[in-house]
């Protein structure tokens, strides 16, 4: 089983979309995605600087558009060259929206409309109160979680590979950095607020309204949820989890546990790739992984699938 993994916010870099727009029809697709999301994604992905694309309402549509575009390019290549296709999908945080497209739950335009709403709603929620996020890398997990509780912080992302992302008030995050658990490093993240915590509750209702207007299909492949790492069997169930995920922790560690339990033989990470393949090196030791950062990386992805049927 080969799994498609779709990265989340923070994976974007200036100009990363440029080589993808050279593919036939790609620019037209991204322009249509821009209309649906309400963001000029061509300019954002090719011209804007790191500060501009860090904005939540820009970053989220940009990342999902890149994932959908990569999946379309890979699917076209597979139709011509490989007998095998991926049979599983999952996404980290906002990457779950791209994963729903991969799994056939959402049409691309519906996905881009939803991520536009999500990005704006989460940006608005983040503006209500100064909050942030910091990655805690290393240390004993029980000690880390106990310290977060004592500081009133929330473990917003369980990324596996010895990494937990803490979220909450800026003063509490500063105290966390000053009193890092033994053997751990605290790395402040350049994000606008405490995503995947109760601070994001105001964004849930806006996304719920948008999701209720969509008619999803049931997954055409195994689709793992960030909620608990378990497969989702219905399209409506996947959308419900997607909505609630805005204000609840991302359990990527459990997704990787689910991959291992299913016996996956490889992982292909869609653009802007690199983060999830990095986590897989420790969380899925020995499992081959391909990060599709540019169109040149499509060939190794096709080769992985070809080996699956060899």
Angle at CA 226, nearest 5°, toward 203 and 55?
A: 45
Active-site annotation, residues: 93, 196
φ, ψ dihedrals at 155, nearest 5° = -75, 100
Which residues have a Cβ under 8 Å from the Cβ of 201 and sit 6 or more positions away? 125, 247
User: How far is the C-alpha of 243 from the C-alpha of 291, rounded, in Å?
Assistant: 27
The answer to whether the beta carbons of residues 252 and 95 sit under 8 Å apart is no
Classify the phi-psi angles of 297: left when phi > 0, otherwise alpha if psi is within -120 to 50, otherwise beta.
Answer: alpha
User: How far is the C-alpha of 218 from the C-alpha of 243, rounded, in Å?
Assistant: 17
The answer to whether the beta carbons of residues 11 and 272 sit under 8 Å apart is yes
Classify the phi-psi angles of 215: left when phi > 0, otherwise alpha if psi is within -120 to 50, otherwise beta.
Answer: beta
C-alpha distances in Å from residue 289, one per residue of 16, 181, 247, 302: 20, 31, 30, 12
The pairing of beta strand 184-188 with beta strand 222-223: unpaired
Rounded to the nearest 10 degrees, the angle between the axes of helix 56-81 and helix 26-37 is: 140
């Amino acid at each position: 089983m080969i799994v498609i993994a779709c990265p989340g916010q923070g994976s974007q870099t200036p100009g990363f979309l440029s080589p993808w727009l050279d593919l036939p029809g790609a620019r037209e697709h991204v322009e249509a995605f821009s209309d649906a999301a309400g963001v000029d994604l061509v300019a954002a992905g090719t011209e804007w600087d790191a500060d501009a694309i860090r904005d939540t309402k820009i970053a989220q549509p940009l990342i999902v558009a890149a994932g959908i575009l990569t999946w379309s390019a890979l699917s076209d290549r597979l139709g011509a060259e490989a007998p095998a296709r991926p049979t599983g999908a999952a996404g980290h945080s906002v990457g779950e929206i791209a994963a729903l497209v991969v799994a056939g739950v959402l049409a691309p335009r519906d996905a881009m409309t939803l991520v536009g709403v999500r990005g704006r709603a989460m940006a608005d929620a983040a503006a209500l109160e100064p909050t942030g996020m910091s990655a805690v890398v290393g240390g004993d997990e029980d000690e880390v979680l106990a310290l977060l509780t004592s500081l009133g912080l929330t473990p917003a992302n369980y990324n596996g590979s010895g990494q937990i992302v803490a979220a909450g008030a800026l003063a509490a995050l500063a105290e966390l950095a000053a009193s890092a658990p033994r053997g751990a490093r605290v790395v402040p993240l350049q994000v606008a607020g405490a995503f995947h915590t109760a601070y994001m509750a105001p964004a849930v209702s806006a996304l719920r309204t948008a999701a209720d207007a969509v008619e999803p299909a049931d997954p055409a492949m195994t689709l793992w949820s960030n909620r608990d790492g378990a497969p989702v069997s219905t399209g409506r169930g996947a959308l419900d989890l997607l909505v609630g995920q805005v204000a609840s922790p991302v359990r990527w560690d459990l997704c990787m546990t689910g991959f291992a339990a299913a016996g996956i033989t490889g992982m292909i990470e869609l653009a802007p790739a690199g983060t999830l393949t990095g986590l897989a090196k420790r969380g899925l030791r020995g499992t081959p992984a391909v990060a599709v950062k540019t169109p040149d990386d499509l060939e190794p992805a096709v080769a992985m699938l070809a080996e699956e049927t060899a």
